[in-house]
Amino acid sequence: LAECGTHAIIDAAIGAYPQGEATLARTVLRSLSDESLLLADRGFFSYPLWSAACATGADLLWRMKSDAVLPVEQRHKDGSFASHIYPSTKDRRHGTGAIAVRVIEYTLDATDDDVEAVTSRLATTITDPAQAPAAELADLYCERWEIESAFDELKTHQRSPRIVLRSKLPDGVRQEVYGYLCVHYAIRWLMHSVAPESDTHPARVPLTRTLRAATPTPRSHPDERTIQQAAPFQLIERHERHLAR
Instruction: Say if residues 195 and 231 touch (Cβ distance below 8 Å).
Output: yes
Q: At what angle do helices 21-28 and 47-54 cross, to 10 degrees?
A: 10
Parallel, antiparallel or unpaired: strands 99-108 and 37-40:
unpaired
- Which own/partner contact pairs does 170-177 have at CB distance under 8 Å and 24+ positions apart? 173/14, 174/14, 177/12, 177/14
Q: 170: closest CA among 22, 17, 26?
A: 17
Q: What is the pLDDT of residues 26-69, one digit of tens each?
A: 999 999 999 999 999 999 999 999 999 999 999 999 999 989 99
Taking only the tens place, the pLDDT of each residue in 212-244 is 776 655 444 555 555 555 554 454 455 555 544
Pairing of strands 74-75, 81-85: antiparallel
Which pLDDT score, from 0 to 100, does residue 245 have? 45
pTM of the model as a whole: 0.81
* DSSP symbol at 199: T
Backbone angles phi, psi at 157, to 5 degrees: -90, -40
Identify the burial level of 159 via C-beta atoms within 10 angstroms of its C-beta, where 0-12 means exposed, 13-18 middle and 19 or more buried.
Answer: middle
Handedness of CA 139, 140, 144, 147 (dihedral sign): positive
